[in-house]
Amino acid sequence: MSEKQQAKAERIQMDASDFAPRNDTAVYWLGNGGAMINCRGTIILIDPLLKGFDMPVMTEAPFQPEDVPHADAVLITHCDNDHFSRASLKELKDKTDRFCTTKYVAELFKELDIEAEGYDITDTFQIGPVRVTLTPAWHNWQNESPKHSKERYFKKEDYCGFYMDTPDGTVWMVGDSRLIEEQLQLKEPDVILMDISDGTWHIGLHGVKILTDKYPNSQLIPIHWGCVRSDWKEFNGNPAVLKDFVKNPERIHVLPVGGYLDIKK
């Protein structure tokens, strides 16, 4: 598939003002599966893929690691290199107070000489005013790969999402995952950062419909699309199709990379 045929995300350059204290909570899309939460000045980066990816990038990240003045925490959902970006994390090491992830990925951080906090699914921890809970995911595709299955047996609990309770509302980063029943049993979030890719080990459009039907009032931010030039379905979601089957489609916010959605009490 050519770049012209593939849905391409627009981009806004972020700057120091995006990291500054504010009176509400802003939810940013950083491109691909990444996000940033600025909750009244507390900065949380989720799966920041800022540089050094091994596939052609057609929409760049909205800032580079050296542009980050400070981050209170970096959260990582799983070990795939479009989420666990070693190049990005190495340069964020000295700018970030905490790195939080699953127990397996916390072990991988040791290769970067970074001490990360490893958690179980449903564990909860606090980052400033934000309470974070790990939500379940099903993305252990490596067990079906002749190459990666030789490394180890990958467990479902090696992958997660993050449900964040802020003073201004709740934000759920679902993470890369097939749809599973546990994901349909949460308190309805105010905002869902939603993977829309249609790959076998992602939610798929049928899963998007089920999830958004379950949470009909959540504001929706499509992610994992429009940034990597590839024929793979995993990078080829198109938010334009969502309005045809998502209830209350006016709640879909197709952000540019570097764009944000405000949530206020």
- The reply to whether 6 falls in a domain is no
Give the pLDDT confidence score for residue 4 in this predicted structure: 52
Residue 197 has pLDDT above 50, yes or no: yes
Q: Which residue has the higher pLDDT, 104 or 1?
A: 104
To the nearest whole percent, how much of the chain has pLDDT over 70? 98
- The reply to whether 137 falls in a domain is yes
Give the pLDDT confidence score for residue 3 in this predicted structure: 45
Q: What's the per-residue H, E or C state across the chain?
A: CCCCCCCCCCECCCCHHHHCCCCCEEEEEEECCEEEEEECCEEEEECCCCCCCCCCECCCCCCCHHHCCCEEEEECCCCCCCCCCHHHHHHHHHHEEEEEEEHHHHHHHHHHCCCCEEECCCCEEEECCEEEEEEECCCCHHHHCCCHHHCCCCCHHHCEEEEEEECCEEEEECCCCCCCHHHHCCCCCCEEEEECCCCCCCCHHHHHHHHHHHCCCCEEEEECECCECCCCHHHECCHHHHHHCCCCHHHECCCCECCEEEECC
- The reply to whether 95 falls in a domain is yes
Q: pLDDT tens-digit profile of 121-164?
A: 999 999 999 999 999 999 999 999 999 999 999 999 999 999 99
Predicted confidence band of residue 1 (pLDDT cuts 50, 70, 90): very low
Give the pLDDT confidence score for residue 264 in this predicted structure: 83
Residues 91-111: what's their mean pLDDT? 98
- Looking at the structure of the chain, the number of domains it has is 1
Which residues span the domain enclosing 65?
Answer: 16-263
Give the pLDDT confidence score for residue 137 in this predicted structure: 98
Give the pLDDT confidence score for residue 188 in this predicted structure: 98
Q: pLDDT tens-digit profile of 55-83?
A: 999 999 999 999 999 999 999 999 999 99
Give the pLDDT confidence score for residue 5 in this predicted structure: 80
Q: pLDDT tens-digit profile of 26-48?
A: 999 999 999 999 999 999 999 99
- The reply to whether 68 falls in a domain is yes
- The reply to whether 184 falls in a domain is yes
Residues 84-94: what's their mean pLDDT? 98
- The reply to whether 10 falls in a domain is no
* Statement: the pTM of the whole predicted model exceeds 0.95: yes
CATH number for the domain harbouring residue 149:
3.60.15.10
Residues 182-208: what's their mean pLDDT? 95
Average pLDDT, the chain: 96
- The reply to whether 142 falls in a domain is yes
Give the pLDDT confidence score for residue 100 in this predicted structure: 99
- The reply to whether 8 falls in a domain is no
Predicted confidence band of residue 111 (pLDDT cuts 50, 70, 90): very high
